[in-house]
Structure 1
Amino acid sequence: MTEFIDVHHGMQGITSDQLTEAHRADLAIEGEEGVHFKKAWADPDSGTVYCLSEGPTAEAVQRVHERAGHSADEIHPVPLNA
């Protein structure tokens, strides 16, 4: 499985509760696409949200986000880490 970082723009003012709710929406259906969302971070001032996931493809990650109601603007594979 490949790790992915995805980026969502335009979420200015997102709260901790809203971030948690969005992450839970992903978790509720992630298994249907063979994806696991590990962590999410947000910067309410810039409106940027980042998600770390593991899955078979970037398309599978995007499908989960779309179905959960918050499509990613960018998805980047992370093939190496330390």
Structure 2
Amino acid sequence: MPEFMDVHTGMNGVTAEGLKQAHDADLAIQDTENVNFKHAWADPETGTVFCLSEAPDAEAVQRVHAAAGHPADTVYEVGIQA
């Protein structure tokens, strides 16, 4: 299954607990779109959050994030890794 990295902006001041809550909200509904959210990272200073997932397509990732209340600004397919 393809992997995706998505980016959220505007989450300035996000805390570890806030990131966990957002990630848990995704995990709770990810099966509805056959998505597997693997990990999330955040930079509280810039308000940028990154999420790594496996999904059928970028739209499925976006639908889960939107349903969880935090749509991504951009979703990138990660086709090549080192």
TM-score bin, normalised by smaller chain: over 0.9
The residue type equivalent to 2:53 in the other structure is S
Please, what TM-score do these two structures have when normalized by structure 2?
Answer: 0.98
Runs of 4+ off more than 2 Å = none
2:43 matches 1:43: yes
Alignment partner, residue 29 of structure 2 = 29
**Which structure 1 residue ranges, 5 or more long, are not aligned?**
none
RMSD: 0.5
Superposed displacement of residue 31, structure 1 = 0.6
- Calculate the TM-score normalised by the size of structure 1: 0.98
Aligned residues: 82
**Structure 2 unmatched ranges of 5 or more:** none
> In 2, distance between residues paired with 1:67 and 1:38?
18
Q: Percent identity?
A: 61
The one-letter code of the counterpart of 1:74 is T
